[in-house]
Amino acid sequence: MRTRSFAAAGVALAALATSATAGASADGVAAQNCVPKTNVEAIVDDSGSMLVTDSDRLRVRAMELFIDNPVNDKRTLGALEFGTDAVRVFAPTTISGNRASMKSALDTAIQADNGLTDYNDAFSLAGTESPNATARIFLTDGQHNNEDSSPYANGHRGGPPVYVIGLNVVGDGDTVLQQIASETGGLYRRANDAGQLQSAMFDVNAAISCLARPITLQNTFTRQGQTQSRSVKLPTGVRSVNTALSWDDPNDAFDITGIRVIRKGKVVARGSRVRKLRITKRRGTTNVTVKIGRLVRGKLAFKLKATRLSGGGSAKLTTQIVRSRNR
């Protein structure tokens, strides 16, 4: 019997719980004092310890999820990887039209082959590579390694908001990462294991977009072809929904189907017929991102489907959705 942990998507319906997502309102819609970040620099840990903490390179899949998310098409993204040294992965450029080359560059560069973990070099290169960045994503699995000979110089200070993902960081590492996020007005999202990296990235994406942090719901699948129904309320004024499905085994596949809006027991909008929804769906190696537009008041209903399961046992799927007044 196998056991696996999957992240599929969550439902961003709750009020802001901490200052980490300041600027988001209770219904997951952008608040007036929050401005979506348009120019993002990703700083991805590729130190040798990642061979153990992220042996399946799910941090690459997390970046893939960010790149494929339709809400990011107009954003500028640059990326670097760091360990003992920091190295450019790709220069800042608009995501739309460059998704394939960005994902290919990350897949080639991120191999857990960069020695130790030097925050100083990482933030120094980030400032040089993308001086106009309005946000940074900082993903790491450990503390700054050269604290005795070269203490962390707080290179985050004076820069844009940093949205930090800490992968099973121990000791004082959490405190430092929380400090980096807090001092810049960003977010700290801890991932207890690599299986949570993709859902953590979706949380970060919501914060960068000035939306509330998604809620996580879990479903268990036991056979290929199995479907499970889910729904979420659409209050008046919600015009679009951003969804992400993610899992950790590339030999498996999941999908979201049967998307429709129901009001008083009747279907009032769907992918075809009645009011036609605008659906943009993109598939990655271990994730699917979907943007659903032209929504109306009612209940958004859909099905989650295990289209391929590679072996026996059960698979757990987590579901996230962000509602928005944006088109």
What is the bridge-based pairing of β-strands 314-324 and 162-167?
Answer: unpaired
On whether residue 18 sits in a domain, the answer given is no
The residues pairing with 292 across neighbouring beta strands, listed in sequence order, are 241, 279
Cα separation, 13 vs 242, in Å, equals: 12
Structural element, H or E, at residue 299: strand 298-308
What is the bridge-based pairing of β-strands 39-45 and 76-82?
Answer: parallel
Contact by Cβ (8 Å): 161, 185: yes
On whether residue 86 sits in a domain, the answer given is yes
Cα separation, 285 vs 266, in Å, equals: 36
Contact by Cβ (8 Å): 245, 237: no
The rounded percent of the chain whose pLDDT value lies above 90 is 77
Total domains, the chain? 2
On whether residue 246 sits in a domain, the answer given is yes
Asked if 183 and 203 sit in the same domain, the reply is: yes
Q: What are phi and psi of 141, to 5 degrees?
A: -115, 10
Asked if 177 and 237 sit in the same domain, the reply is: no
Render 74-131 in DSSP notation, one character per residue.
Answer: T-EEEEEEESSSEEEEEEEEESTT-HHHHHHHHHHH-SS-S-S--HHHHHHHHHHH-T
The residues pairing with 299 across neighbouring beta strands, listed in sequence order, are 233, 262
Asked if 160 and 191 sit in the same domain, the reply is: yes
Both structure tokens of 57: 């390179």
Average pLDDT, the chain: 88
Which of the two residues, 108 and 27, has the higher pLDDT score? 108
At 32 the pLDDT is 59
State whether the Cα torsion 147-119-156-59 is positive or negative.
Answer: negative
Which of the two residues, 315 and 161, has the higher pLDDT score? 161
Asked if 280 and 193 sit in the same domain, the reply is: no
Q: State pLDDT tens for residues 277-296.
A: 999 999 999 999 999 999 99
4: confidence class by pLDDT, cuts 50, 70, 90: very low
- CATH number for 124: 3.40.50.410
Contact by Cβ (8 Å): 230, 319: yes
At 313 the pLDDT is 74
Place of tokens 């000791």: 171
Contact by Cβ (8 Å): 321, 10: yes
At 220 the pLDDT is 87
- Tell me the average pLDDT across 221-235: 93
Asked if 197 and 253 sit in the same domain, the reply is: no
Asked if 170 and 136 sit in the same domain, the reply is: yes
Rounded to the nearest 5 percent, the helix, strand and coil shares of the chain are: 20, 40, 40
312: confidence class by pLDDT, cuts 50, 70, 90: confident
Say whether pTM exceeds 0.75.
yes
Asked if 128 and 49 sit in the same domain, the reply is: yes
Asked if 226 and 175 sit in the same domain, the reply is: no
Structural element, H or E, at residue 148: none
DSSP H helical segments within the chain, as ranges?
50-53, 58-68, 99-109, 119-129, 173-184, 197-208
Asked if 133 and 263 sit in the same domain, the reply is: no
Position 216 pLDDT exceeds 90:
no
Angle formed by the axes of helices 99-109 and 58-68, to 10°? 170
Asked if 44 and 186 sit in the same domain, the reply is: yes
Question: Which structural domain range is residue 115 located in?
Answer: 35-208
Asked if 287 and 144 sit in the same domain, the reply is: no
State whether the Cα torsion 158-160-166-167 is positive or negative.
Answer: negative
Asked if 195 and 259 sit in the same domain, the reply is: no
- CATH number for 320: 2.60.120.380
Q: State pLDDT tens for residues 55-110.
A: 999 999 999 999 999 999 999 999 999 999 999 999 999 999 999 999 999 999 99
